[in-house]
A and B are shown apart, each in its own frame.
Chain A
Amino acid sequence: MASIWEYANPLKFMRTTEAALPFIGWAAALCLGVGLVWGFFFTPDDFRQGSTVKIFYIHVPSAMMAINIWVMMLITSLIWIVRRHHVSALAARAAAPIGAVMTLIALFTGAVWGQPMWGTWWAWDPRLTSFLILFLFYLGYMALWAAIENDDTAADLTSILCLVGSVFALLSRYAVNFWNQGLHQGASLSLDKKENVADVFWYPALVSIAGFVLLFVALVIVRTNTEIRARRARALMARERLG
């Protein structure tokens, strides 16, 4: 069995991930297609929320991804800090724009869902506010990478920013439990069957979540490999300039 650290070698990482990419990409398209079509066309309305319950199949997966992508960035940032593997730092950089888009989708669909259900697009509720701050952290993280020319310095500073931002990723997930106030309800999905949403909503949501996860994996592979190539191009150009 190969050690996971073998994938710290950029060539090994690129060869392995590019071989797997078509399968992951098609699986993502299939799961997203099935999950969203099933959720939108073939599920009933909720007796209280009416047809707005269909927003569930995009809001919940995107919100889950927004938080979990930051957790992935935290892990890869820690690997960079401890072991100095460039692929790890570049994977965190590659994931950030995907996380920002997922957070934006969660915020937008939440506002559109909240208006008819709560009577307002926005409230300074603990979960909504921590999500907005998480979105700003994503933007700040990307801006910091773009602002620093030296890749290693940028990786160091963004890793520290990632550690700080993890507080808000955690708060986004547990704000409702911590403060027990505000408009947003607790988790809709649970492994406890009594707490969980009804099966008619749960199964399409599960397929949709799988689609969002697979889409993230496919995109992070494409973007990490791009960052690896861009880093090599910068290094070669610097060597050219030196003569």
Chain B
Amino acid sequence: MMPELGKYAAEVLSAYAVTLGLLFALVLVSVARARRVKGELEEIEHRSKTRG
């Protein structure tokens, strides 16, 4: 299944590994911050409402 990359295997594999790693990290950080900020805002809005 793995294609024959020959003498350039290290270059090709490292390019793909770093790219996928960075994209995955970017998605993870973006989603995690989105959840955290959404939770914080809900808490602040709830606090504002209960205080009137």
Q: Which residues of A contact B (CB under 8 A)?
A: 36, 40-41, 45, 50-52, 54-55, 58-59, 62, 97-98, 101, 104-105, 108-109, 112-113, 115-116, 215, 219, 222-223, 225-226, 229-230, 232-233, 236-237, 239-240
SS class of chain B's interface: helix, strand, loop or mixed?
helix
Instruction: Name the CB-closest residue of B to A41.
Output: B3
Partner of B37, one of A45, A101, A229: A229
SS class of chain A's interface: helix, strand, loop or mixed?
helix
Partner of A104, one of B11, B22, B34: B22
B43 shortest CB reach to chain A, Å: 9
**Neighbouring B residues of A113 by C-beta, 8 Å:** 11, 15
Contacts A233-B44, A236-B45: A112 and B14 contacting too (C-beta < 8 A)? yes
**Neighbouring B residues of A237 by C-beta, 8 Å:** 44
* Beta-carbon contact of B5 and A51 below 8 Å: yes
**Neighbouring A residues of B27 by C-beta, 8 Å:** 215, 219
Chain B residues numbered 1-24 whose CB sits less than 8 Å from any CB in chain A:
1, 3-9, 11-12, 14-16, 18-19, 22-23
**Neighbouring B residues of A109 by C-beta, 8 Å:** 15, 18-19
**Neighbouring B residues of A97 by C-beta, 8 Å:** 26
Instruction: Name the CB-closest residue of B to A225.
Output: B34
* Beta-carbon contact of A222 and B4 below 8 Å: no
* Beta-carbon contact of B12 and A108 below 8 Å: no
Instruction: Name the CB-closest residue of A to B3.
Output: A41
* Beta-carbon contact of A54 and B26 below 8 Å: no
A-B CB contact pairs (8 Å), 18 listed: A40-B3, A41-B1, A50-B7, A51-B3, A51-B4, A51-B5, A52-B12, A54-B5, A54-B12, A112-B11, A113-B11, A225-B34, A226-B30, A233-B40, A233-B41, A236-B44, A236-B45, A237-B44
**Neighbouring B residues of A50 by C-beta, 8 Å:** 6-8
Partner of B41, one of A36, A101, A232, A240: A232
Contacts A50-B6, A113-B11, A236-B45: A108 and B18 contacting too (C-beta < 8 A)? yes
Cα distance, A232 to B33, chains bound together (Å): 15
* Beta-carbon contact of B6 and A215 below 8 Å: no
* Beta-carbon contact of B11 and A116 below 8 Å: yes
* Beta-carbon contact of B30 and A219 below 8 Å: yes
* Beta-carbon contact of A223 and B30 below 8 Å: yes
**Neighbouring A residues of B18 by C-beta, 8 Å:** 105, 108-109
**Neighbouring B residues of A55 by C-beta, 8 Å:** 11-12, 15
Partner of A51, one of B6, B30, B44, B48: B6
B35 shortest CB reach to chain A, Å: 9
**Neighbouring A residues of B23 by C-beta, 8 Å:** 101, 105, 215
* Beta-carbon contact of A98 and B26 below 8 Å: yes
Cα distance, A12 to B4, chains bound together (Å): 51
Contacts A41-B1, A226-B33: A112 and B22 contacting too (C-beta < 8 A)? no
